[in-house]
A = this chain, B = another copy of it.
Amino acid sequence: MTTPDPTRLSINQETIKQWSLEELATGCTAAGISHVGLWRAPVQEYGVERAAKLMRASGLAVTSLCRGGFLTATDPEQRAAALDDNRRAIDEAAVLGTDTLVLVSGGLPDGERDLTAARERIADALAVLAPYAASCGIRLAIEPLHPMFASDRCVVSTLGQALDLAERFPADQVGVVVDTYHIWWDDQAPVQIARAGASGRLHSFQVADWITPLPAGVLLGRGRLGDGSIDMRAFRELVDAAGFVGAIEVEIFNEELWGRPGAEVLGEVVARFTEHVL
């Protein structure tokens, strides 16, 4: 058994969502963890300014805020509302002191079947949002989601597609998220990770394992590190070789984890992260 090493670990708060923000801050500090990834809804509930103070007081750096996006609506009112909401997300990210807002770009609107047009609407929205984000010191990070989410959550399904979109904008404005769960199956992933690194667009690296059978709805089917099919260390090495030096977010949506004491889950995450990722 290797000695647990939390120095490069960032805990995405959804992994231990049974914890309040204060419990997360206390728990992470006690475990020697100095990075967290946050989500908008629990942060808003607690108060954005208050959450920022709590993180600072606890010595926790925020590696990313999840999530902006959902930029594929065709309806003008929905589209305007989405842009407004993303501007608020950018403001919140700035208050929290992170430099990265993760984008889940959005699926196909009801009755639509044109993926290319939907991807183009994302680019149109980025043209509006990216300069605003940059003026707030925030980078937008497009997260390709597994193709099983293409219709209802994200029409950006591969790292290649995400980079095709990102490269229309300056690298310090729009980059990508590499999440092992979403891209592990793709034989183009290694070359695309290198491409992301070479252009300075590898803004976030997240890890979760792939397990089957998938549950109904498939959203909560992520596996604990080491339980599944993904060679996590190989991905970490690819990302390192591409020049990524940030903290690595563990982001697992799994109801079994949410049913256990948070401190126990955190300890297990640190041990498995050390064993399977580092």
Q: List the interface of chain A (C-beta within 8 A of B).
A: 108, 112-116, 119, 146-148, 150-152, 155, 157-158, 161, 184-187, 210-218, 228-231
Task: Point out the residues of chain B lying under 8 angstroms from A186, CB to CB.
Answer: 147, 157-158
**Docked CA distance A73–B198 (Å):** 37
Q: Is the CB of A214 within 8 A of B216?
A: yes
Contacting residues, chain B, for A148 (C-beta < 8 A): 146-148, 214, 218
20 A–B contacts from the bound complex (CB under 8 Å): A113-B231, A116-B187, A119-B187, A147-B147, A147-B148, A148-B148, A148-B214, A148-B218, A150-B184, A150-B185, A150-B210, A151-B211, A152-B212, A155-B185, A157-B186, A158-B186, A213-B217, A214-B214, A214-B216, A214-B218
Nearest chain B CB to A253 CB, angstrom units: 15
The chain B residue with its CB closest to the CB of A187 is: B161
The binding surface of chain A is classed by DSSP as loop
- Contacts A113-B231, A158-B187 given; 8 further ones with Cβ under 8 A? A112-B229, A115-B185, A151-B212, A151-B229, A152-B212, A152-B213, A158-B186, A214-B217
Which residue on B lies nearest to A189, using beta carbons? B115
Please indicate which of the listed interface residues A147, A184, A230 has the most CB atoms of chain B within 10 Å of its own CB.
A147
- Residues from chain B with a CB closer than 8 A to the CB of A108 are 229
Shortest Cβ gap from A230 to chain B (Å):
7
Q: Is the CB of A151 within 8 A of B213?
A: no
C-alpha gap A215/B221 in the complex (Å) = 12
| A187 neighbours in B (Cβ, 8 Å) | 115-116, 119, 158, 161
Separation of A112 and B229 alpha carbons in the complex (Å): 7
A-B interface, 8 closest residue pairs, ranked by CB to CB distance from nearest: A150-B185, A151-B229, A113-B231, A216-B216, A147-B185, A148-B148, A213-B217, A152-B212
